[in-house]
Amino acid sequence: MIDSLIVKITFYTEWYTNGIRSELPYLSNHPDASNVKTNNEWGRKIVSHLHGKNILVGAMIQFLTYDRQVWEPEMTIDEWDVGEFAETDLPVRIADFTNPLFQTRIKEIVKEHLTQFPGIDYLFLEFEGVRSTALQAIYEEWAQDKGLPQPEDVHYDPERAAHCERIGQQPEIILSDEVHAMMRYYYGLNLRAVQEAADELGY
């Protein structure tokens, strides 16, 4: 028997279009957004209201997709048309997660979130948006630098390969052992940046 039920509500605070008022030059402030109009007081009031009802509140941050008009081409590995489900006329840019500046920006985003919304109980981190074509280009550079197999010669874990065979698909490069190792390296850097930002603020 469950003695108590923990209720959590998570808000997207950085999605394909930004959801908070930000001072960061690479995050867009939509003039009609409630947080932009109120300097984020709208969001702080929601956090306070839900806390008053013993509900935990989290922020979901999408770290890879940014509004095209504010994110630089040289920090971009791909573009993605999300107009079907996001209120934006332009494709969003997919950030180059291999660039050291990206880790700096991750820290800035996390610090701004936790400073603007100090009552946030948890962060939900999302790194969606890397398509196979962009990933292959990144891996080709990585492989050349590390002396690893080129994309046509990568290896696949037998279980993943068997799964692809069962569903009648060729394994994509993102499923290979070599790309998994590369992604663990870069995403490790990204997650370390988040942890450093939280630690520096005593979160």
Asked whether residue 38 carries a pLDDT value surpassing 90, the answer given is yes
Question: How large is the average pLDDT for residues 6-27?
Answer: 92
pLDDT of residue 161: 87
% of the chain beyond a pLDDT of 70: 98
Asked whether residue 1 carries a pLDDT value surpassing 60, the answer given is no
Question: How large is the average pLDDT for residues 15-21?
Answer: 87
> At CA 32, angle to CA 26 and CA 33, rounded to 5?
65
Nearest-10 crossing angle of helices 100-116, 177-200: 40
pLDDT of residue 3: 54
The C-alpha atoms of residue 60 and residue 109 are separated, in whole angstroms, by 12
Question: How large is the average pLDDT for residues 46-57?
Answer: 96
pLDDT of residue 136: 94
Is the pLDDT higher at 33 or at 3? 33
pLDDT, tens digit, for every residue of 6-15? 899 999 998 8
Do β-strands 7-14 and 55-62 pair in parallel, antiparallel, or remain unpaired? parallel
pLDDT, tens digit, for every residue of 96-129? 999 999 999 999 999 999 999 999 999 999 998 8
Model pTM score: 0.91
pLDDT of residue 125: 95
The C-alpha atoms of residue 186 and residue 182 are separated, in whole angstroms, by 6
The C-alpha atoms of residue 153 and residue 174 are separated, in whole angstroms, by 13
Mean pLDDT score of the chain, rounded to an integer? Answer: 93
pLDDT of residue 89: 81
Asked whether residue 4 carries a pLDDT value surpassing 70, the answer given is no
